[in-house]
């Protein structure tokens, strides 16, 4: 059986926060604001997995009102959701994701993001594709007010 899911997330860029995307801290004058570490890419991937599993969304499992998730490491949230997939008998087909950011430049950090994601999902890096695009200075991403990410995930399990 094949199941697909998609995820989308946005976080505001502000001063005084680290810029953590795909589990990698990127040197930049601003960082992403959120209850957790605000890792917009991992949140989009986590939501895509939950979508494929039919298990709701990230906020259902990790409410932003719960102090337990204050400054949470989003790698741990992804890890926990990946446990749900394993328990349901799924393995990863592939992930394709896009970071939507005018700045900072992501390209140099993408191989490390792929490594982190593959390691967290017990997968091979060739199952994970991460891309980045600007919005040509248009909209909130183009003005540098925030960063968005979207992801598609394909999960597979053998028919019984
Ligand atoms: N934050 C970003 C945005 C884009 N890139 C890379 O630049 C290429 C061109 O971006 P366009 O928005 O002009 O299509 C894109 O394909 C990415 O490789 C980036 O590294 N970081
Ligand atoms: C991850 C959670 C929980 O700490 O908080 P945020 O970092 O604000 O992120 P968001 O993308 O709004 O997702 C759901 C939240 O419940």
Q: State if pTM tops 0.95.
A: yes
Cβ < 6 A, ligand 2 pocket = 9, 34-36, 38, 43, 58-59, 62-64, 69, 72
d(CA 128, ligand 1 centre) in Å: 18
* Residue 11 labelled as part of a binding site: yes
Q: Please identify, by atom number, the ligand 1 atom nearest to the C-alpha of residue 104.
A: 1
Whole-number pLDDT of residue 159? 81
Q: Which residues in the chain belong to E strands, given as ranges?
A: 2-14, 19-21, 24-26, 31-32, 91-100, 128-133, 146-156
What's the pLDDT at 105? Answer: 98
pLDDT score at 136: 98
- What is the CA(144)–ligand 1 centre distance, in A? 14
Alpha helices in 6-121 (DSSP H): 40-53, 58-61, 74-87, 110-120
Residues spanned by the domain of 49: 2-156
Q: What domain count does the chain have?
A: 1
The 8-class DSSP code of residue 14 comes to E
Which ligand has its closest atom nearest to the C-alpha of 65?
2
Which pLDDT value is given to residue 16? Answer: 98
Q: Report the nearest-CA residue for atom 13 of ligand 1.
A: 134
Annotated binding-site residue? 61? no
pLDDT, one tens digit for every residue, the chain (160 residues)? 999 999 999 999 999 999 999 999 999 999 999 999 999 999 999 999 999 999 999 999 999 999 999 999 999 999 999 999 999 999 999 999 999 999 999 999 999 999 999 999 999 999 999 999 999 999 999 999 999 999 999 999 988 6
Is the interface score ipTM higher than 0.90? Answer: yes
What ligand 2 atom has the least distance to the C-alpha of 39?
A: 7
CATH number at residue 52: 3.30.1330.50
């Amino acid at each position: 059986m094949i199941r697909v899911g998609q995820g989308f997330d946005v976080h505001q860029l502000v001063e005084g926060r680290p810029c953590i995307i795909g589990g990698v801290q990127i040197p930049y004058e601003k960082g992403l604001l959120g209850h957790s570490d605000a890792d917009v890419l991992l949140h989009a991937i986590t939501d895509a997995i939950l979508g494929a599993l039919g298990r709701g969304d990230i906020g259902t499992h990790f409410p932003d009102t719960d102090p337990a998730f204050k400054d949470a490491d989003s790698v741990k949230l992804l890890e926990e959701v990946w446990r749900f997939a394993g328990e349901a008998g799924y393995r990863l087909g592939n992930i394709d994701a896009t970071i939507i950011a005018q700045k900072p430049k992501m390209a140099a950090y993408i191989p490390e993001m792929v490594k982190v994601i593959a390691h967290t999902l017990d997968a091979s890096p060739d199952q994970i594709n991460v891309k980045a695009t600007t919005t040509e200075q248009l909209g909130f991403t183009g003005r540098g007010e925030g960063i968005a990410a979207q992801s598609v995930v394909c999960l597979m399990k053998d028919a019984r």
